[in-house]
Each structure stands twice: as structure tokens, then as C-alpha cells.
Amino acid sequence: MKQKLISLTMLCLLISCVPAWAQQKKPIKVEIEKINAGYTIKRGGKPYFIKGAGGTSYIDRLARKGGNSIRTWSTDGAKQILDQAQQLGLTVTMGIRMGVERHGFDYNNPIAVQEQLARVRKEIMQFKDHPALLAWGIGNELNLHYSNPKVWDAVNEVAQMIHDVDPNHLVTTMLAGINQKEIDLIKEKCPALDLLSVQVYGGLAAVPAQIKAVGWEKPYMVTEWGPTGHWEGLQTPWKASIEESSSEKAEVYQSRYEASIAKDRQCVGSYVFLWGQKQERTPIWYGVFTEAGEENEVVDVMEYLWTGKYPKNKAPHIQALTLDRRQAKDMIYLTPNKTYPLHAVVNDPDNDKLTTRWELLPESTDLKEGGDREARPKTIDGLVKQRDVDKATLTAPEKEGAYRIFVYITDGKNKVATANIPFYVGEPAQHGQAEPGAIHSLYTFSSIASWADEFDQNGMPDTSKWSYDVGSPYNGWGNNELQYYTEANNENVQVSNGVLKITAQKSTSLDMPYTSTRLLSKGKGDFLYGRFETRAKVPHGRGTWPAVWMLPSEWKYGGWPNSGEIDILEHVGYDQDVVHISTHSKAYHHSINTQKTAKTKLSATVDDFHLYRIDWTPDYIKGFVDDVEIFHFANEKTGFEAWPFDQKFHWLINLAIGGNWGGAEGIDETIFPAVFEVDYVRVYPLLDQ
């Protein structure tokens, strides 16, 4: 009896040591409360800000580092995930798998929609009372490559069903990016949603402004955010995306989080991506862990953002990686079988002894969208020779093609720095830049311009070549821009000394706070294919957004983005020395983070003129800055959704102020008047083949 009493006493003591959340067997009520400055989640009556991560790997580490929630993409393995989260004091936003158009689901099929609803209801009933559950996430990026708005009717039907059977948890849906069309549809069709979830990468800092601009007044959370996306940064001529190092990623994770999630009171928290590892373009692009479970510098940053403190042992910091004394942005071509030096500039904050491993992979060809599963390329062994902790040599493969060299530098304490460089084995003219399905034709252009404006007559722009867009319609030209475009006003536009000057001024008499000019050649210069060239100097100052670009003259396939857009030069003042070339179409545009784009860094963009050009043919659009190719988009031959560029387009030249992109980091009021200068625009026709 005495032994039984001792055992019973010990059991009671153990139970008393288990936290309240672990003893909880009933659902914990979660609701949204509006506060003066925004919104907050109340969980069990207490404020709850989501410090979460996407993924179910290493969640014990997440709890130790100050995270409080995880996010899944389906209910696969849900019980085990929920139970483990409960034991660790974490919550779960549980994903609900929904059919997507790009995988063949038809929302015009009422039987399929009702079968999906019935399946989802079973999942909800199974897990709705778990104490670790925080919210339900209906689908993932259902707006990616879709056309049928009935998907939002199905989302609302699921959301209403959840509220009927589960009154204790929040319901949301996850969107790829933020755009007016989808927000308007969701506001109209999905009143049962408690909050919105958005997924953005390079544009995270602009999310608070975009949320307000599109008129979303309920709370929101960011359910995916992380490094600069593979679709957002610089690409090589052979279409390999250039990836940030782990240290560069750590820097942008912190700066973008602090500029948005940390300070926007309409935001109720976020899930950083990816708390784990996956192959997506590369094995290290999105995961903050390696395949061996090593933690990179992003993990240290997240611990700081969640707790205000860095860990005692920090990850190595990589400053640079070079191949043949060149960086990734130098677009490296190598000769087969020739040996080249590799060098990593790295240091460890704790002075730990570092070890290095290198890996050579062929460039991935199993490229998917929306995070769909990709196959990892197979390692090529025997071509890298280690020389020192920071040095090695690479013998270029014998076979022509695209490759990528990776470096992993570890501190012996499970911390790692990573970086990689894409390179091409072979001659630049032989690398076959076009994407699969494209026709590899050789195109030539006339050396004589068929249409041009040299801006050599002082006064107003030539009215035989240029007209004006006037005003500020469509919510600031669809981008929440803050300028009013005037017509033939010498305060905003003039030609002098052989240069077109568009000047943005502060406004005192119009509804908008600034005035500027937008010229267009529609009806006076409309073109199908050719070489389009301009020499320009961008203005200085945060808040400016100059562009030389092209739009369709007839909108054959419908409104933007269906009929396309070609951006020959875009620049935003807060990123002073970086210029962009892009194309947009129904399948590939910035509103859903799929645009085809490239950027490059220049010196003295505000002091010197630079040459910008696109070569537009039936098979591809290439983009050049100072005669260096930085952009290539091939005709996939899949229809107008991807390639509407078989109709006539016209020039536009303008200087915008503010807007979703140009104003993402505010406007410096001291920069005005701001001047965008264009030396000339020229069109060289495509020659008959």
C-alpha cells in the first residue's frame, strides 16, 4: 500500500508539471477582435500574434527558437502533427487540399465540387476539436493560373460549412500575391472568410500598402514569405535564376519582416517559408535547413525577430562566392574540361572552425509552379578538388549545358552558410537559351531604324509621333500611383538639347499631390516584332517610378494582362542602381508573382545615360542593358495566355510617383522636381527570314 501511495503521489506530481495546454482536451476558442489600430487574434481570450513557420519538420526547434505556430498544406498526417504541436505548445493552421485548375479540376462540374465539399467536411469533423488547432486554410494559391471565378463560390461554401460545424476556429484562404481582381471577387463571393492570407516574397515590404490600396478591410496574415523568389530576380541568358546566398537571404528576411509584418496592425502574424528543406529550382532556395538538418543564418534571424535575441552560436556568414574570379551575376561561361578556381569569402561570428563541402549539379529541368514537387538533379562527382576551407578548383564538365556549383560551409555545431553559382559549359552563341517547346530560329534586324524620335527639336514632343494619357484613372492607373498626368504642359514635359525631359512636380491645384507626363505612340507608331531601343537616364530619389514600355494597340485577347505588356526599362527610386526588364501576360504577371522578369545593377544610373533594348521575334523576347543580355522569354507555343505577343504594340514613356511598387518605401519629398531623361527611341524592323 505504501508503494502504491508513493506511485500515485509521483503520478500527480508529473501531471501537475504538464502545462495547461498539454492537459487541454477540448478546442480552444479562437476569434478576431478589432482594436483601434487594427486587429488581434484572441485565443482562449488572450491576445495571440502568429510567429509561425510553414512546414512540419524540426518543429521542436521552432518552439525553442520562439516560434508559436506551424502551417500545413493539407490534413495529411494531421493527428500526429496536431499532437506534436500540442506537446510543444504550438498551434496549427491546418491546410485543406482543394482542386486547382492547373491540375485539371473543373469548378463548372457541380458533382466534383460537391464531392470535394463532402470530403473536406469529413476532414473538418475529424480534427475540429483538437486543442492545438488555430485556423483552417482553404486551398493554396487557388488564384494561380486560374480562369474560373466559381472557385471562390466553392471556397465560401467550404468556409460556411466549417463555421456551421466548427464555431471555434478561424477560416481563411491563401492567395498568391495581391491584386484588385481577386480581392474584389473574394469580398463579393466569400463573406464567410474571417481573414485573408497572402503569399509574397520579394514584395513583402509593400504588402501593407497593397492591402490598403485594394480595399481589404478585414485582418490578414502572410502564410508564405521568404527569400527573393526565383521568378523575381536576375536570370542568366540560359534561363537559370540567380539565387541569394544564405547571408543575403537573412538580410532580406529581416528587413522585409520589419518593414511589414512587424508593424502593420492589420496583420495578425505570419508563417515564414520554409521551415524544412525541399527541391524548388535548387535544393537550398527556400528551405532554411539543409538536407542534413543544418540551420542557416535565416534561422538565427527568425529567432531574433521572434524573441529579440540572437542564439549563442550563430551561423557562418558568407560574403561572396566566385568561380573563375567572377560572381553569378557575371553570367559565367566555361570551356569543357578546363579547370577554374573557386573561392568563398566566409567568416564565423563565434570563430568556430569551419569545414567546406562542394556539390556540382546539372541545372534543374523539372521546373514546376506553385510549389509543386520537383525532382532533385543528381550530383556530378569527381570534378571539384578542395584546396582549403575557402578554396577549391572546378573542372568544367565535358558535356555542354547548364550547371550549378554549390558550397556548404559548416561550423561543426549544425550551423551552415550556403551559396551557389549557375554557369554554362559552351560558347554563348551555342547555349540554346529558349525554353522547352520554343523554336530556335536565328533572327536578324535591319541596321536602319524604321521609326524613331531623336528628340532633336526643342519644345513639346512631336505630335506626329506622340499623344498623351491624361489624368489618374483606375485607382492611379491600376497601381495606386499618386501623379496626375498633364497634357503638353511645359512644366512636366519638354524637349531641349536633344533630350526628352519628363518632370514630376509637386501639385498645388489638382486632386493628386504630384503632376507628371505619360507619352504614348498609339496610332502613330504601332509595331509587331523588331528591335526596340532607348537611351535614358533615370531620376534620383525614393518614390520615383520611370518606365519605357509597350502595350497592345488593339487588346486582341482582352484587358490587362491578357493582351500583354513589355517593359523595356523600369526603375524604382528606392533601389537606385537596379533596372528591370519584364513581360506580362495572362499566365505570367506580377499580380500573381509569375511575371517573366530580370534585373541588373548599374553604376551611376542617375548620372549617366544607359542603353536599354528588347529584341522581339515570333519565338522570343530578349532584353539587353548596355548590350548585355539579361532577359530571355521564349514563346512556349501554348497559346495567348503565355504568349500574346503576336499583335501590334506601341511605346509608352512616363514618370510615375508612388504606387504599389514605386512607393513601397515611401516618397522623399525633397527630390522634386524629379526629371526622367530620354535621349532617343528607335525601332529596327525584323528582317524577312
Strands 451-453 and 133-140: unpaired
Cell numbers describing residue 686: 525584323
CA distance 231 to 28: 40
CA distance 316 to 321: 14
Active-site residue, 533 included: no
CA distance 342 to 392: 5
Could you give the 3-state DSSP secondary structure of residue 32? strand
Which residues, in sequence order, are CB contacts of 374 under 8 Å at separation 6+? Answer: 279, 280, 281, 364, 366, 367, 368
If you search the block for the grid coordinates 496549427, which residue do you land on? 92
CB 636 within 8 A of CB 437: yes
Cell numbers describing residue 226: 521568404
Q: Is the peptide bond between 673 and the residue preceding it cis, with omega within 30 degrees of 0?
A: yes
CA distance 19 to 161: 33
Q: Please state, in angstroms and as integers, the Cα–Cα distance from residue 31 to each residue in 43, 294, 333, 434, 636, following that order.
A: 7, 37, 56, 51, 47
Which residues, in sequence order, are CB contacts of 356 under 8 Å at separation 6+? Answer: 344, 386, 389, 390, 392, 407, 408, 409, 410
According to the 3-state scheme, what is the secondary structure of 301-343?
HHHHHHHCCCCCCCCCEEEEEEECCECHHHCEEECCCCEEEEE
CB 334 within 8 A of CB 425: yes
Could you give the 3-state DSSP secondary structure of residue 207? helix
Q: How many residues does the chain have?
A: 689
What is 525-580 written as a DSSP string?
SEESSEEEEEEEEPPPSTTEEEEEEEEESS-TT-TTTTT-EEEEEE--TTSTTEEE
CB 643 within 8 A of CB 636: yes
Nearest to 331 by CA among 233, 232, 428: 428
**Which member of 565, 629, 636, 641 is catalytic?**
565
| Phi and psi torsions of 659, nearest 5° | 90, 175
Cell numbers describing residue 72: 500545413
What is 624-683 written as a DSSP string?
EETTEEEEEEE--SS-TTT---SS-EEEEEEEEEBSTTTTTT---TTS-SEEEEEEEEEE
Cell numbers describing residue 240: 537559370
**Which member of 157, 303, 570, 629 is catalytic?**
570
Cell numbers describing residue 282: 535548387
Element (H, E) at 63: helix 59-64
| Phi and psi torsions of 6, nearest 5° | -65, -45
If you search the block for the grid coordinates 471565378, which residue do you land on? 149
CA distance 670 to 659: 18
632 strand-pairing partners: 622
CB 133 within 8 A of CB 169: yes
Active-site residue, 363 included: no
Catalytic site residues? 565, 570
